Amino acid sequence: MATYRDVILGPIDIVRGVGGLLGLRVYTVTVLVRTWDGPRPGVGTSSDVTTQLTNALPGGGRTPVHVVQLSRRDIIASGGVYADRDIKVGPITPPYPAGIGFPAGGFDDATADPAVPVSQKPVEVFWNVVGPGWPVGPGGWAQKVGEEFTALHLNVILRANGDTP
């Protein structure tokens, strides 16, 4: 049986997507998960899975999630964890079932922070950001430096690092 949380997540995701309809979602964030068949990253053959982080749109479709540069207040309050030019990606809606007028959607924690048991193959996670202040064209690469979870959303904090997959 669906919980109240499951029932409201779909409509919440649609409300979060309204900014995309208004042209306010100028960043695109994609997570690239690279799995290696060797004993460590860089050894053997790799396979990639990419996921663009999005919110639902009314009537179907998807729009990029909200991205904002962290404020000085957030940076100071972090006690040195966050730095100037770090960005917050989200709120990202957790997974939810299909409902009346919208399909299933959302992203689970494994998208933001893939956990792989030691017995499995090595995994690398790369974050690509395209938008203002990032390299033109393919965008720039970032690393995750923090995350915030609640029952209704996930925020990921990214920092440009210049690495390329």
User: Residue 119: its pLDDT value, please?
Assistant: 59
User: Residue 59: its pLDDT value, please?
Assistant: 80
CA within 13 Å, CB half, 111: 21
Can you tell me the distance from the alpha carbon of 75 to that of 73, in angstroms, rounded to the nearest whole number? 5
> What CA–CA distances, in Å, run from 80 to 23, 69, 86, 118, 156?
33, 16, 12, 30, 17
User: Residue 115: its pLDDT value, please?
Assistant: 67
Tens-digit pLDDT profile for residues 88-145: 999 999 999 988 777 889 998 888 777 665 657 888 889 999 999 999 889 999 999 9
Give burial (CB, 10 Å; 0-12/13-18/19+) of 56.
buried
* Residue (of 69, 62, 64) closest to 31 by Cα position: 64
Tens-digit pLDDT profile for residues 47-82: 999 999 999 998 888 999 999 999 999 999 999 999
User: Residue 41: its pLDDT value, please?
Assistant: 87
User: Residue 50: its pLDDT value, please?
Assistant: 94
